[in-house]
Chain A
């Protein structure tokens, strides 16, 4: 195993020598810029993303409002009977 290890190390050392030059291919930058522009989000995609966010916010507001209404209705049911009776009496008096 040690022999294989030594061979491997020497092979790596030899292979790690000077690497081929990394010269940019002709027209590479033009192609990259064209592709980046092509695939960047366009106007309709931006509007769609905005609409999606607006819908999420609207849903959150609806959920909060529903929760608030539910809480109010529960707290109204909890009102003592005396208050309800007084309320009815006042309404009757006013009616007369």
Chain B
């Protein structure tokens, strides 16, 4: 039995109320959902709570899943929409200032400005923290597009599929978001 067939069987069993199948489905899909939720960097709601909301929606609507697309795509779409709705009310933070950065983050930024060397792998967590702060200046949709394109390395077509936006919208949002981020970095240097 291949993976797709196995997942399809799990979906069918979960629809019929089989708890073991539903648990197995959650275990298999959790990394997909967690990745999307993490990308949104929600401030008001915990990552786990948001993941929980998404899975509850998935199970409430499992009857509507047609089986035409892989279940991970269908769940990803629900995850993206739930995150978007959840963050719709979140306003962008005001401008980032030097005082908002830790010593390590300031040093990293200066290092990036001074040389063209790639950052050492052990700095990736610090880099992620700095990116989180920078993305906090953006609107949720801009945060999403930057995360998907540059941090998750997804293609424009993939972002289109997940968000339902047109290619032009994806590109325009990414362009505007980068413009804001460039301005922020320029102000910090």
Contact = CB atoms under 8 A, between A and B. Distances in A.
Interface of A: 1, 3-8, 10-20, 22, 24-25, 28-33, 35-36, 39-40
Contacts, number: 101
Contacts of A20: 38
Contact of A7 (B26, B38, B109): B109
20 contacts: A4-B181, A5-B182, A7-B109, A7-B112, A10-B119, A11-B112, A14-B118, A14-B124, A15-B127, A16-B153, A19-B38, A22-B38, A24-B26, A29-B26, A30-B23, A32-B55, A32-B56, A33-B59, A39-B56, A40-B60
Interface stretch (B27-35, B79-87, B93-101): B27-35
Contacts of A29: 22-23, 26-27
Contacts of B26: 24, 28-29, 32-33
Contacts of B178: 5, 8
B48 A25 contact: yes
Interface string B26-53: 1100110011001000000000100110
A96 to B, nearest CB: 72
Interface of B: 19, 22-23, 26-27, 30-31, 34-35, 38, 48, 51-52, 55-56, 59-60, 109, 112-113, 116, 118-119, 121, 123-124, 127-128, 130-131, 134, 146, 150-153, 178, 181-183, 185-186, 189
Contacts of B185: 4, 7-8
Secondary structure type dominating chain B contacts = helix
A8 B182 contact: yes
A45 to B, nearest CB: 12
B119 A36 contact: no
